[in-house]
A and B are shown apart, each in its own frame.
Chain A
Amino acid sequence: MAGKTLYDKLWQDHLVAENEDGSALIYIDRQLLHEVTSPQAFEGLKIAGRKPRRIEANLATPDHNVPTTDRTNGIADPVSRIQVQTLDDNCDAYGVTEFKMDDVRQGIVHIVGPEQGYTLPGLTMVCGDSHTATHGAFGAMAFGVGTSEVEHVLATQCLRQKKMKNMLVRVDGKLGTGVTAKDVVLAVIGEIGTAGGNGHAIEFAGSAIEDLSMEGRMTICNMAIEAGARVGLVAVDDKTIEYVKGRPFAPKGEHWDMAVEAWKDLHSDADAEFDRVVELKAEDIIPQVTWGTSPEMVKPVTDNIPNPDKETNAVKKEGIERALLYMDMKAETPITSIPLDKVFIGSCTNARIEDLREAAAVAKGRKVASSIKQAMVVPGSGLVKEQAEAEGLDKIFVEAGFEWREPGCSMCLAMNADRLESGEHCASTSNRNFEGRQGQGGRTHLVSPAMAAAAAVHGHFVDVRELELDKELANVSEVH
């Protein structure tokens, strides 16, 4: 019999019951809550007169709606304010641990979870947010759910699920200097498409993945959903355990030793079989830039915008034409010639300390180009912000002409005041370039933090590999 994949093991480990109808009841160890997808779940509980099963298995923080400017006067937008207030009220009423807006531990859920050691290897974890796959970087089965399922987990600590198929994405070799985890995952999406992982759990493996820091692995798993996969995974190794150790919610004392022992098995067996395998060579990956309105519309920075006339598939051709129209770009022009208006460094994909170091290494001693109307850096959490300030990164950014903000989702989805105006092009380290994602009519180009910083100082995309970087900072960020 073939061995088991990491996903198989996690599934087996959390199986409460297999039902005759082909569905399974899966135990959910922990849930993360935020203000957008939880109010209706709490309301549902209340209406049905149900009690949460294990309220201590939930952790909450507001992130999508919070302002990233001065917060001393609260939230100006009344609708956003009510939503954040509703989260606070529900957490207070039910006794959920919450990092409120004025707590230094507040931040984007997917940054807060790992940072607090709330995310642990071997867990099943859900959140009413599709980027929950981020936590799979720790060898945890983590996936996004809708609000009905948030309520389901609150009430039962379980979910009814179907087992997914197994997909392996293997990246072997060494990434070039200036090529980051973000470029790897964009290249993967470019290869398999945004629906390529539908119905699958993707495990990322290979020497290039092993060489990545935990931050890098989180960036990759974060965007598994952009390849259609609800679950992204990386096997547990020493780096995983080292990262978790000593964090506030991590096991302590003899529990720690017991946990580490259990976590050592969290990898796919050598003879495990995958339903699909995709292989990429690390050396082939060049810094990536999305040019269109879907993450699969991506090219190396050295390339040109595609020509729809050369596309034989009619649906794809139409997609390219529509995207070029929306983005107001011409076929066959170089990626480096795309005019830029704004730069956004942030989001659950790229707002961890390592990402900020990477961007600062480019920004140091340089200035944001005069043609850029706004360049902002939004740390992923209050603690990331504190750490960055302790390292002096905030000064580097501010001196270069970037705005240094309070933590939150910000311009990743523009639910707060941070957004693009219609027609503006933005180099963004976030994860979605859909029409209107960063503001109605806004045009998003997804890139790595280093590429975003380089674009800010040049006013257009440049190949970050050709820039001279601050040695000290660049070295720090190379501790991959």
Chain B
Amino acid sequence: MEAFTQHTGLVVPLDRSNVDTDAIIPKQFLKSIKRTGFGPNLFDEWRYLDHGEPGMDNSKRPLNPDFVMNKERYKGASILLARENFGCGSSREHAPWALEDYGIKAVIAPSFADIFFNNCFKNGILPIVLDHATMDALFEQTEANEGFKLDIDLGKQTITMPNGDVINFDVEPDRKHNLYNGLDDIGITLKQEDAITAYEQERAKRAPWLFSS
């Protein structure tokens, strides 16, 4: 996994609440057996005017000019502003894969759905929770100032605005550590193999029916 330490990037505002994972990456693209290549179909139903299917040449499809990410001024954005309960719905990890493939490094919202939030950290994307008032201000600033960028420092847990103002954010220490160092969760867990084996032996005594096939 790619580490996230510090990132400065253009901000795009997605002013909708309850954006679900079906909207982030529609199900027809879930048929892929790969982890990569989902970026062109991120928000497919909103982004294009036609119906997308896997295998299409996305560069030839008609873009929806009203969709925020298609606006010239937001091209190349890498920080996504969102509203409540972002990433609700299915557990598909294809959602963070699509965001990552598109180039999104961080998503800032007042709240996230649990599974999505978790999946972001496993794919090098930093989800940041901020209160409503701060979110409103960020939306306002982004829309008012073309080329609005934010500087996110995970080590310091700060977001710095172009005018120098600093917003602090919380992140759980273990998640921060793993993301900051780009650590592979499985590798970390395998270091605790002795504890797993000990637990398994004890569990097999308590619940032998789970180990008797």
Please report A residues at the B interface, Cβ cutoff 8 Å. 16-17, 19, 21-23, 25, 27, 29-30, 36-37, 39-40, 43, 48, 50, 53, 56-57, 64-65, 77, 79-80, 82-83, 86, 120, 122-123, 128-130, 144-149, 151-152, 155-158, 160, 162, 194-195, 198-199, 228, 230, 251-252, 255-256, 258-259, 262, 294, 315, 319, 322, 413-415, 432, 434-437, 440
Asked if A37 and B92 sit within 8 Å, CB to CB, the answer is: yes
Asked if B119 and A148 sit within 8 Å, CB to CB, the answer is: yes
Q: Which residue among B22, B54, B115, B186 has the maximum number of chain A CB atoms within 10 Å of its CB?
A: B186
Please report B residues at the A interface, Cβ cutoff 8 Å. 16-18, 20, 22-23, 26-28, 30-35, 45, 51, 54-55, 83-85, 88-93, 96, 111, 113-115, 118-119, 122-123, 172-174, 177, 184-186, 188-190, 192-193, 195-196, 199-200, 203, 206-210, 212-213
Nearest B residue to A162, CB-CB: B172
28 contacts between A and B (CB under 8 A): A22-B174, A29-B203, A30-B210, A37-B91, A43-B35, A48-B186, A53-B196, A64-B30, A83-B31, A86-B33, A120-B210, A128-B93, A144-B91, A145-B91, A146-B92, A146-B96, A147-B93, A152-B189, A155-B190, A194-B85, A230-B115, A252-B209, A258-B208, A258-B209, A262-B207, A315-B83, A315-B84, A413-B90
Q: Which residue among B172, B173, B210 has the maximum number of chain A CB atoms within 10 Å of its CB?
A: B210
**Known contacts A230-B115, A415-B31: does B208 contact A36 (CB below 8 Å)?**
no
Asked if A17 and B200 sit within 8 Å, CB to CB, the answer is: no
B148 CB to closest chain A CB (Å) equals: 22
In the assembled complex, the Cα of A156 lies from the Cα of B122 at a distance in Å of 16
Nearest A residue to B84, CB-CB: A195
**Known contacts A17-B195, A148-B185: does B34 contact A194 (CB below 8 Å)?**
no
Across the A-B interface, give the 6 residue pairs with the lowest CB-CB distance, nearest first: A251-B209, A21-B174, A146-B93, A39-B33, A255-B209, A144-B91
Asked if B91 and A130 sit within 8 Å, CB to CB, the answer is: yes
Asked if A255 and B18 sit within 8 Å, CB to CB, the answer is: no
Asked if B196 and A157 sit within 8 Å, CB to CB, the answer is: yes
In the assembled complex, the Cα of A162 lies from the Cα of B119 at a distance in Å of 14
A429 CB to closest chain B CB (Å) equals: 18
Residues on B with C-beta less than 8 A from A440 are 26, 45, 51
Nearest A residue to B210, CB-CB: A29
In the assembled complex, the Cα of A30 lies from the Cα of B98 at a distance in Å of 29
Asked if A145 and B113 sit within 8 Å, CB to CB, the answer is: no
**Known contacts A22-B172, A148-B93: does B207 contact A435 (CB below 8 Å)?**
no
Asked if A259 and B207 sit within 8 Å, CB to CB, the answer is: yes
Add 5 more A-B contacts to A145-B115, A156-B190, A252-B209 (CB < 8 A): A29-B203, A30-B210, A195-B111, A228-B113, A434-B20
Residues on B with C-beta less than 8 A from A86 are 33
Q: Which of B88, B184, B189, B212 contacts A25 (CB 8 A)?
A: B189
Q: Which of B31, B32, B54, B85 contacts A228 (CB 8 A)?
A: B85
Asked if A156 and B18 sit within 8 Å, CB to CB, the answer is: no
B33 CB to closest chain A CB (Å) equals: 4
A275 CB to closest chain B CB (Å) equals: 15
Asked if B186 and A130 sit within 8 Å, CB to CB, the answer is: no
Asked if A152 and B192 sit within 8 Å, CB to CB, the answer is: no
Q: Which of B33, B114, B190, B212 contacts A40 (CB 8 A)?
A: B33
A75 CB to closest chain B CB (Å) equals: 11
Nearest A residue to B190, CB-CB: A156
In the assembled complex, the Cα of A414 lies from the Cα of B22 at a distance in Å of 11
Asked if A25 and B174 sit within 8 Å, CB to CB, the answer is: no
In the assembled complex, the Cα of A39 lies from the Cα of B195 at a distance in Å of 29
B39 CB to closest chain A CB (Å) equals: 16
In the assembled complex, the Cα of A77 lies from the Cα of B53 at a distance in Å of 12
Asked if B45 and A436 sit within 8 Å, CB to CB, the answer is: yes
